[in-house]
Every structure is written in C-alpha cells, then in structure tokens.
A and B are shown apart, each in its own frame.
Chain A
C-alpha cells in the first residue's frame, strides 16, 4: 500500500463528518480530500490527491498560511484560521455564487510514513452562522440604536416628567400648604365666628330677658339695644340703630358733660365706674339710672356694653324716706312743744270764749275778742300741722264718703276766690277709711295751692276714680284697692328742679308761705296709708294724685253739729294736772250748765268717781288728760275706772294730737276725744254726743 492508499484508509472516516477535511503532507501534497470538500469545491478526491495544493489553491503559498502550516508539520501546536481574518481557506462557491465562509483548525498528526507530521485541516462552514450573526448584529445594532434612542427619549421624557412632577409637586405643595393654611384659617375663623356667634347669641338671649336696659355702643353708634330699652325709652330698635341717632339726646341736659367725659374715657380704653344720671325718654319723662359700662369686643371690634338700671322708683323711695325722716324730726320737735303750746292755747282760747260771753256782741270789745279767738285758732291749726309730722301720729280713721269730703273741703278752701271747681265723681266710687279731718285738711291745702297757682282765675278739676294697684305698679303703695283723687289746675306749673322738693317742709316759692302745706299733706296721706304724686308742665298744668285706701264699709251718716252750746244738766269730772286748764274747763262747763269736779291725776279721779258713785251721785262723764307728769295718766286711769264702772263715759283730751290713744280712743275704753285747745262749742258738742248719744 502506498502512502496515498494508507491515507485514504486512515482518514476515510472523515467522509462521514459534516466538515471539510483534508490532509497535507509537509510538501503540501494532498493526501486526503473528503466528500464534503468534493461537494463544496466540485474537485474530486481522485483528481486532487497526490497533487500539490498550491496547484488548486495558490493563495495558501502566502507566508501568512505557509509559516503557520510549516510549524504544524513539525508537530507544533494546532493553528486556527478564523472566518473573519481569512474568510475561507479552501474557496468554495455556493449556488448563487457566494463563497463559503470557513473557520479552520489545523492540527498535526504523526505521518504515516517516515518522520514528521501531517496537517489535518478541519474546515467548518460558518456561512449561515456568519450571516445569522451579521443579521443579528445589524438587528442588535438597530435595536441598540432604537434602545439608545428610546433611552434618550425616555430620559428626556423622564427628565421632562421629573421636571414637571417637581414643578407639580412644588406647585401642589405650595397649593397644598396654601390650601391647608387657608383651610385652617377658614376653620379657625369659622370656629371663632361660631364661638362669637354663640356668645353673642347667648348674650342677646340673656340681655333680652334682663329687667335692665342693655345696649352696645360702638364708636358712638348704638348697635344693640334690648327690649327694655325700647319699652322704657320709647324708641324702636331701628331708631336706635339709625346712623343719625345721637345717643346724647337720651341724656338729661345737666348730665351731658359728664356723659361725654365718660364716653371719651371709654374711647381711651379706660374703665369707668358705674355712675348715676338721668335719662330722658321719647315722651320727655325723666328716668334716674345707674349706668354700668364694660369694654367688650363685639363682632370683632371694641365696643361699650352698657347696663342701665332704672332707679327712678328707688330714688323716689329714697327721697320719700329722706322726706319722712325730715318730717319726723320736725314732728319730734313739734310734739315736744305742742303739749305746752296747746295747753297755753286752751287757756287763751277758753278765756277768749268766756270773755265773748261776757261782752255785748255789738260792743267793739266783742270784735277784738273774735279776732283774738281766730288768731288763736290759726295757732292751733299750726300746732296740729306740726304734730302731724311727729312719729307715731296716728290718724283717727273712719269710713268716709270721698265725694262729700272733697266737695266740702274744696268749697271751704275756695271761699272768696274767683277760681271755680268742677267735680267728676263716678257713682260707684268706693268709700275710704281715713282720718276725715286730716284728709280734708290735705285736700284744702291742695285746693289752696291750685287756687294760688291761677292768679288770673280758672277752674280746678277734681276727679275721682277707683283703682286697683297691683304689686309693683306703684312701689310706694301696697297692692290693693284705692280711690284716686286727682286735682288739676292750669296754673304756672312746677319746674323740674323743684318738683322733688315740693313736699319738703319749709320749701316754698310763696312770699308768705310757711312751707308746711304740702309737707303736711304728704305726711297726712302717708299716715293714712295713701300716696301722693305730682305731674307738672310749666305754664300748662299741674296735677296732684292722691291715692287713699278704699273700704268696703258704708260711711256713717254724719250727725248735724250743734251750732252752739246747749245747756244740759249733768255732773262732770275733769282730770288735768294743769291749773290753767282746770280753770278754763270749769268756766266753760259751768257756762254750759254742768257741775264740775276736778282731779289732779288719775288716782284722785278714781277716788272721786268711786266716792260719788257710792254716794249715789255718780258723774255723767269724765274728761281726762292723757299725760300727767309724775302721776296716773288718762290711759291707765280709764282702765281702773272701767273696773269700778264698766258704764263709765270718758273723753280723752290731749294736746298730743298724734297720740295713738287719741286716734284709737275706743280701743282704750274712751267714748270720745277732744283735742286741746278746744273752744267751748267743741267741748259742748263732745259732751252732748257722749251723754245724749249722736244727734
């Protein structure tokens, strides 16, 4: 077998591999050419084997191949011919003319003949692989480009997005925080408003219920008043709130300066203590008030909250109290001297009365005595008026018809005057239970004043009506039924500043007035549980209102008064510690026709009464002085006398006109009363009523 045959046998196995395989000898003679290569190159094994490969593929003679192949023939390491660097090692056209791309590994194998090595070429067709890889590369490059572009675009987008997001975030955050701030503010404001509204509502509902006037003044404007303000001041809320409304018009002129001053202090933020002043209502009525102010915040701004307490009634009461006290102090003084005074007057008056009896009325002397008697009587009136002021002076009450009382009193007071008087008295007018004399005197005083207020003449209107006083209607009156007597003149009127003083004692606007007339009237009415009020408009009219407690009882029929002293037989015991009184009384009683015995005090009177009774010559009546210094007075003596004789007829006589015993003599056991000083007529009538009963 030659080398070629050996090679064919040795390498024939490579016909079965999918690689191009050929075997070269050191001299580049082809020893084996496998079927794959035959197929690729269309060169048959038979034609190429035994020939130099350069004959077919001269490029292999290039050093880049030959140098490396020579190493293989020496048994050196395998050599690789890559497709990229060589494209092919054995050029082979494919259908379509393209050359097969090849990756070749050349390895040495020991020569079958002699020394040295053969080179086995293992040729891999990587055409498809290369194409695919090229496609893949192109694809990948494109994809990479695309990705790059996309990444760039995405980055741009991302960047833009981020910027936008950032901006949105910032904006949102700004907006959010602004919104939050706003929300918070709104909430806070809402809450504050709610709190304010609630507190203002609470305030209003409270204020509306208060009996006080409540107002809020903001910068000189009234922005709130409660109902009471409307009721009392006579303005509507809208009027108060009007921008044209000047709150100073509510203030009495004499208080304007102080109110302005206080208001300015408020504006400076100062606190002003409560102060009293006078308001003037829409109708011109004066109201005394205490104003308490407070600086507050109202509807978010500084304002003045004012609480006004109407103290008119309280002030009246205070004035009343003051007046009553004044009157009482006078009364104490008067009471102190009235006793002595009355005793003196009793003696004077008694002697004058007696003297008149001894004188021919046509004589000049008689005229003098009459004058003296009248003067004494005026002195007696004065004393009695003074005594009405004194404490404890109780009126002698009985049920009286007002109609009769006012007509008699007015007629009496207006004798010799040009002023006329008309009466308006309802038929169903209630009777009153009062001291007839005192009330008559009060009415006379008022009529006289009215008369004097109308020097030009005119008409005094006297009207009466039944009134029922509820609680709180007139604070100075207890609730109940009253008869109101109103005496109205169209005279000069009483100026405001005087109106509060007219009831004060010794206050007078008349040149010759005593200043006791209205004071006495006031005192009397008070003592009879009544009330007197006055309304006046200067130059227009003045009205006095007298309230007298009504009675359900019918008035007693008035007996006719005896015009002169009737001569009546009887035996009288007079108890008086004053010699002077005893003297006058004896003369008067003897003159009237009585027998008289005297006692210095109660004990003696008791002795004498008992003795006379035992002797069967009892006294027809007893006249007893109330007070006996150092001895038993009338009050105690009557008790003892009643023990001796329950039928004893006694008259109490005292200069203490105001003594309770005098007012309520029956309660103490007396049958009659006669106030000192008395005239002979008065004494005669009293005794006549006592002994013979009322006429």
Chain B
C-alpha cells in the first residue's frame, strides 16, 4: 500500500482513479490543479504521482518540468487524452515513468502504478533476468576498459572484476550499507545529466585504497592516510573506472550526457549514500568490484554506487540494446 497523489481538474476522473486504486489498498490524495499538486507533492511526499496534462492555470508539462528541475525522484505517471508521440517523448525526457491514455483502463492503471511501486520498493524484481545480464555486461565492459587503461599506465597486470551487481531501492541500499557498518571511506563521484540522470561513485574502503595506491605508485604499503597527493591518485583511478563504465553505458545509449567535474570526497559510507536526501525514490545499482594485481598478489574491493533518478530511461536503453543485438 502506498500514498498516491492524483492531480486532475476533473473531479469525475479523480473519483474514478480513487475507486480503482482503493481496491489495492492505496491511499489517495487529490489536487484539482497543478499549483496545488506541487504543494501537496512537496508536503506529503507521495510514493507516486498521477498527472493530468491539460489543466487550467498550470498544465501537467509545467508540473513535470518543475519536479524534474527540483531533482525530485518521485515517479510520475502521465494520464492524458493527448496521445501524440511527441508529447509522450517530451514527458519521458522530463522524467515521467509511464504514459497512459485517458480514460485509463482499470488494469492498465493498476499495473502501471504497481510496477512503479514495486520498482521503488524492490527494483530487482522489476528487472528481468535478461535486463540484469545486459546491465552486468555493460559494467563488465566498462570495468574492462578501465583495467586496460590502468595496465597501460602502470605496466602492472591489474585485473578488475564485477562479481555481482545489485539493483536496489534506496531503502535497501541503506540497509545494505548499514550491514557493512559505518566506516570512513574515500570516494570519487561523478554527476551526470541527460535522458537518464544520476551520480556514480566509486567507493574505496580504506584498506583497499591504501593497497591500491601503494601498488600503483610503487610506494611502500604502510600508512593508510590519504594526503592530497594520494587523493589525487585515487581520484585518477576512480575517474578511470567511472569513465570506463559511463563510456560503456553511454555508448549503447547513444545519447548525449553532460558530466560534472569529478570530485574526491572522504566520508562515512552511510553519509555518502544519503548525500542526496531528495533521492528517496532513486534506484541504486551497487556493483562490487574486485581488483587483483597478480604480480604482487594484492586483492581489494571497491564499490560502485550507481544512483539513477530516471531508472526507466536506463531500462529502456537496455531494452534497446537487446533489440539491436537481436537478443
């Protein structure tokens, strides 16, 4: 059961949607226009928003745009009589999760809502095995590229592997991270914006970080403290790995993405995950990455947190890859 906000100027439509969704035990809030809708979205933090497009005062596109710009990760389902494809694309670019024709069919609405809720609640359930495989593959390609660059740079045989990836809800990540314990980590973060937006962070547990730096620079492994020189080294390593993965994904998306300047941070891992408080409904791809340097027998773990606000765009891109390669 979830809290759903319906923004529609038609009382009839609102009542209809309430009657449909009540069957699944959801609680429904009503807003008769866009302005009121944004207020309630802000004050009640609904799990999902059902949005009409054609409304007086403030239409649905403006609401969507405002939510997108504010960085809101609340999944929005657009329900409209405007069935033009251009409008649908526009809405999807503004972060809408789904597009349903008005008047909605009962099952279509229920499925769309429940899909979105399950994605938020437990994204792994939302993905098919094939989608997960594709995703993992993309990561492996990216990691592989990064390893190649590192090998080139250091003349060491560095092997990077991704033993598993997990697609997690924000809640699940928190739980996962809590299980790891609250320890201080170094991380390299990169923000990205485009058809799908989010942050990618490469997290180095302290032990791994110092090992890695020592191996790459030929220093004596010893002191774990990360001065700015070492921080610079870690930044480059993180940059290489993140760029590898991003390159791999962006390649298949064939979409233009804007990037922020990579930043180096040190913080506790739980704080790092909660960095963006607004990202409550975001999806996290957690990729455990293992590096092994055979010559000197060093092993370590790094964690890749891939936080995506517009997860459905990524899924759509993945599906496109499958079609392209004929899977």
B239 and chain A: residue at smallest CB distance: A80
Residues of A within 8 A of B246 (CB): 76-77
In the A-B complex, list the 10 residue pairs whose CB atoms are closest, starting with the nearest.
A82-B236, A82-B232, A80-B239, A64-B152, A80-B236, A84-B233, A77-B259, A64-B153, A77-B243, A82-B233
Give the distance to chain B from A579, nearest Cβ to Cβ, in Å: 157
**Interchain CB contact under 8 A, B261 and A107:** yes
- CB contacts (< 8 Å) of B247 on chain A: these are 71, 76-77
Name the residue of chain A whose CB is nearest to the CB of B188.
A80
Whether a CB of chain A sits under 8 angstroms from the CB of B217 is yes
User: Nearest Cβ in chain A — how far from B175, in angstroms?
Assistant: 30
Which residue of A68, A82, A126 contacts B243 across the interface (Cβ within 8 Å)?
A68
Contact across chains for B152 and A78 when beta carbons are under 8 A apart: no
Instruction: Give the chain A neighbours of B228 by CB distance below 8 A.
Output: 126, 129, 133
20 contacts between A and B (CB under 8 A): A62-B152, A67-B149, A75-B257, A77-B247, A78-B239, A78-B261, A79-B239, A79-B243, A82-B235, A83-B229, A84-B230, A85-B153, A85-B216, A85-B236, A105-B262, A107-B261, A108-B259, A130-B229, A136-B227, A137-B223
Partner of B229, one of A62, A71, A78, A129: A129
Identify the interface centre among A71, A84, A86, A140: most chain B CB within 10 Å of its CB: A84
Min CB gap B22→A, angstroms: 46
A85 to B153, CA, bound (A): 8
A-contacting residues of B (Cβ < 8 Å)? 148-149, 152-154, 190, 192, 213, 216-217, 223, 227-230, 232-233, 235-236, 239-240, 242-243, 246-247, 250, 256-257, 259, 261-262
Give min CB distance, A79 to chain B, whole Å.
6
Q: Give the distance in Å from the alpha carbon of A37 to the alpha carbon of B113 in the complex.
A: 58
Q: In the bound complex, do residue B243 and residue A76 qualify as a contact, i.e. CB atoms below 8 Å apart?
A: yes
Asked if A144 lies at the interface with its beta carbon under 8 angstroms from chain B, I say: yes
Q: A77-B190, A80-B239, A81-B236 are in contact. Are A67 and B152 (CB under 8 A)?
A: yes
Interface size counted on chain A using CB atoms at 8 A: 31
Closest chain A residue, CB of each to CB of B151:
A64
Task: Tell yes or no: A103 within 8 A of B by CB.
Answer: yes
The 0/1 profile, CB within 8 Å of B marked 1, for residues 133-150 of chain A is: 100110011001000000
Which parts of A86-139 form the interface with B (CB within 8 Å)?
86, 103, 105, 107-108, 126, 129-130, 133, 136-137
Distance to closest chain B CB from A392 (angstroms): 131
Q: CA separation between A86 and B239, bound complex, in Å?
A: 14
Closest-CB distance, A135 to chain B (whole angstroms): 11
Query: Which chain B residues border A77 with CB–CB below 8 Å?
Result: 190, 192, 239, 242-243, 246-247, 259, 262
B229 contacts across to A, CB distance below 8 A = 82-84, 126, 129-130, 133
**Within 8 Å CB of A273, what residues of B?**
none
Additional A-B contact list (12), CB under 8 Å, known A126-B229, A140-B223: A63-B152, A68-B149, A68-B240, A68-B243, A75-B257, A76-B243, A76-B259, A77-B247, A79-B240, A80-B232, A80-B239, A126-B232
Docked complex Cα distance between A140 and B230 (Å): 15
Q: A84-B229, A133-B228 are in contact. Are A78 and B262 (CB under 8 A)?
A: yes
Shortest C-beta distance, A231 to chain B (Å), equals 103
The answer to whether A84 and B152 touch across the interface, beta carbons within 8 angstroms, is no
B residues within 8 A CB of A83? 229, 232
Q: Which residues from A are CB-within-8-Å of B216? A: 84-85
Closest to B218 in A: A84
In the bound complex, do residue A84 and residue B153 qualify as a contact, i.e. CB atoms below 8 Å apart? no
Residue of B nearest to A83 (CB): B232
Cα of A111 to Cα of B190 in the assembled complex, Å:
22
Contact string against B for A residues 205-222, beta-carbon threshold 8 Å, 1 for contact and 0 otherwise: 000000000000000000
Report the nearest B residue to A101, measured CB to CB.
B229
Q: How distant is the Cα of A75 from the Cα of B255 in the complex, in angstroms?
A: 11
Bound complex: CA A415 to CA B209 (Å): 157
Across the interface, which residues of B come within 8 angstroms of A126, CB to CB? 228-229, 232
Distance in Å: Cβ of A143 to nearest Cβ of chain B = 11
Please determine whether B153 and A80 come into contact, CB atoms closer than 8 angstroms: no
| CB within 8 Å of B: which A347-389 residues | none
